[in-house]
Structures are given as structure tokens and as C-alpha cells.
């Protein structure tokens, strides 16, 4: 089975901190995605990447950046964390565009 691993299950950070969320997949998948999930708002796409060093903005990229230096790793960066970035962050990957996502276990980030 494909495994998508997010490095932290729970994180608490202070306002203004730079935050790194890491995601690693072990099946040589091309495409990787970062979503956030909030009650009443559902899953919203932040950024995605279809190749090493390639990135595309999703629906809500403001306040975030990403890095994909290696195929298996896709990092989400909160440049200066704010309380409205408190959320569940989900990483996903797919082998090709025809398939459904495999999600990581999620990181619940609280910004205080």
C-alpha cells in the first residue's frame, strides 16, 4: 500500500513563527497536494506539485509557500503563522491524474 507520512500529528506554534509541515510518500508518485480542512468549509486546496521543483497555487495560497526538492517530499511552509491558520492540514499524493488521492494522517496545527 502507498504510504503518505506527515511528520507531525499535532503542532502548537506561536503567532509569527515560521512553520514547516513535511509530507513524504513512498511510491514514486508524481503529483502531491496540500489541503486544509476546516469545519463548515470543507477541504480547500492550498498548493500542489506535479514534478520536482514544480508548484502550482491552489484556491487559498496566501500566507503559504511550498517546496519540492525531491520527488518523495513536499513541504508546506507558513511564512509567519497567524491564528487564522489554525486548521487540519492534509497532504495527498497520486500516481497519475486518473487516480484518487491517498491522504496522509493529517497535522492538526494550532497557532496561539
Partner 1 sequence: QKEVEQNSGPLSVPEGAIASLNCTYSDRGSQSFFWYRQYSGKSPELIMSIYSNGDKEDGRFTAQLNKASQYVSLLIRDSQPSDSATYLCAVRGYGGSQGNLIFGKGTKLSVKP
Rounded to 5°, the CA angle 21-99-10 comes to 20
3-state SS assignment for residue 53 = coil
Cα diameter, the chain: 39
106 lines the binding site for partner 1 (CB under 8 A)? yes
Backbone phi and psi for residue 96, each to the nearest 5 degrees, phi listed first? -140, 175
Closer of 6 and 75 to partner 1 (Cβ) = 6
Task: List the interface residues with partner 1, window 24-83 (CB under 8 A).
Answer: 31, 33, 40-43, 45, 48, 50, 56, 58
Q: How far is the CB of 35 from partner 1 (least distance, A)?
A: 8
90 lines the binding site for partner 1 (CB under 8 A)? yes
**Which of the 8 DSSP states describes residue 9?**
S
Note the residues at the interface with partner 1 (CB under 8 A).
31, 33, 40-43, 45, 48, 50, 56, 58, 90, 94, 96-106
Amino acid at each position: 500500500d502507498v504510504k503518505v507520512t506527515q511528520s507531525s500529528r499535532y503542532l502548537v506554534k506561536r503567532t509569527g513563527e515560521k512553520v514547516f509541515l513535511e509530507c513524504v510518500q513512498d511510491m514514486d508518485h508524481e503529483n502531491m497536494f496540500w489541503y486544509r480542512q476546516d469545519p463548515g468549509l470543507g477541504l480547500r486546496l492550498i498548493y500542489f506539485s506535479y514534478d520536482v521543483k514544480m508548484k502550482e497555487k491552489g484556491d487559498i495560497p496566501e500566507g503559504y509557500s511550498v517546496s519540492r526538492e525531491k520527488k518523495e517530499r513536499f513541504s508546506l511552509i507558513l511564512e509567519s503563522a497567524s491564528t487564522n491558520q489554525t486548521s487540519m492540514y492534509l497532504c495527498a499524493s497520486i500516481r497519475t491524474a486518473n487516480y484518487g488521492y491517498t491522504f496522509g494522517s493529517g497535522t492538526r496545527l494550532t497557532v496561539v
